[in-house]
Amino acid sequence: MTQRVGSCPNCGAKIIFKWSSSVQTVCEYCKSVLVRTDVDLKKIGQVADLLPDTSPIQLNTEGSYRNKSFVVIGRILYQYQQGGWNEWHFMMNDGTSGWLSDAQEEFAVSFLAGDQKLPSLSQLQIGQTYSWNRDSYILSVITEAHFCGLEGELPFQYWDKNEVCFADLRSSSRKFGTLDYSDTNPALYLGELIEFEDLKLRNLRQFEGWS
């Protein structure tokens, strides 16, 4: 892969990868979607300016999860019937990366759970129980969402999306899962719902009239 520092093939702006395993980033100047190849950065697409949103989280927000600190380095923004939400991509101090979602200001931290047997979208049934890593999850809702843009670094190539589908899984504990059907192969993310306070977030956005 290319160096951690490079320049945008479109506008020449300096591009710095915060996370060594990032596959894709968005040039913060010209909004070109750039992927790292063996030799250089390649422009694969273009995204529009992000719609204003109301998440208290932003790029470079720092926090801690299970006594490991993390920093937010990228995000994907979606919209669905109940409004917009972000999947914030964060990098932890041990080199792993995960996701912090903020749908309806209900915060959940999750990590990609590889090598699992996953149901196809057509097989899904609300209320059905699934078991992964010895925990059982109940499928609570299937969300049809609209891809609305992205920002920063991501662990995969992702930009040319339109309508995508997610299935949320809940459990009788705080454990939580998401089945992501936005790619050809479904992906499973497992994690937990977490209180805002417990993330000990710093460098949050400011809201007019609120502190």
The structure tokens listed for 47 are 């995204």
Q: Looking at 11, 16, 44, 121, which residue binds another protein (CB under 8 A)?
A: 11
**Contact string 63-102 vs another protein (x = CB under 8 A):** ------------------xxx-------------------
* Buried/exposed 34-54: b ≥16 CB within 10 Å, e otherwise: bbbeeeebeeeeebeebeebe
Number of residues that bind another protein (CB under 8 A): 39
Specify whether the CB–CB gap between 34 and 16 falls below 8 A. no
Q: Looking at 71, 118, 164, 193, which residue binds another protein (CB under 8 A)?
A: 193
| Nearest residue (CB) to another protein, 64 versus 96 | 64
Which DSSP string corresponds to 118-148? ---GGG--TT-EEEETTEEEEEEEEEEEEEE
| Nearest residue (CB) to another protein, 21 versus 174 | 174
Strands (E) in the chain, as ranges, are: 5-7, 14-16, 24-26, 32-36, 41-46, 62-65, 68-80, 83-92, 97-101, 107-112, 129-132, 135-152, 163-170, 175-180, 187-194
Q: Looking at 20, 67, 162, 206, which residue binds another protein (CB under 8 A)?
A: 206
Q: Looking at 40, 105, 160, 198, which residue binds another protein (CB under 8 A)?
A: 105
* Number of other CB atoms surrounding residue 108 within 10 Å: 21
Specify whether the CB–CB gap between 77 and 65 falls below 8 A. no
> For residues 139-178, which are near another protein according to CB under 8 A?
140-141, 170-174
| Nearest residue (CB) to another protein, 8 versus 154 | 8
Half-sphere exposure of 208 (CA within 13 A, CB side): 1
Residue 53 is a binding residue for another protein (CB under 8 A): yes
Q: Looking at 29, 120, 160, 183, which residue binds another protein (CB under 8 A)?
A: 29
| Nearest residue (CB) to another protein, 30 versus 187 | 30
- Please give the residue ranges that form the binding site for another protein (CB under 8 A): 7, 11-14, 28-29, 49-50, 52-54, 56, 58, 81-83, 104-106, 126-127, 138, 140-141, 170-174, 193, 196, 204-210
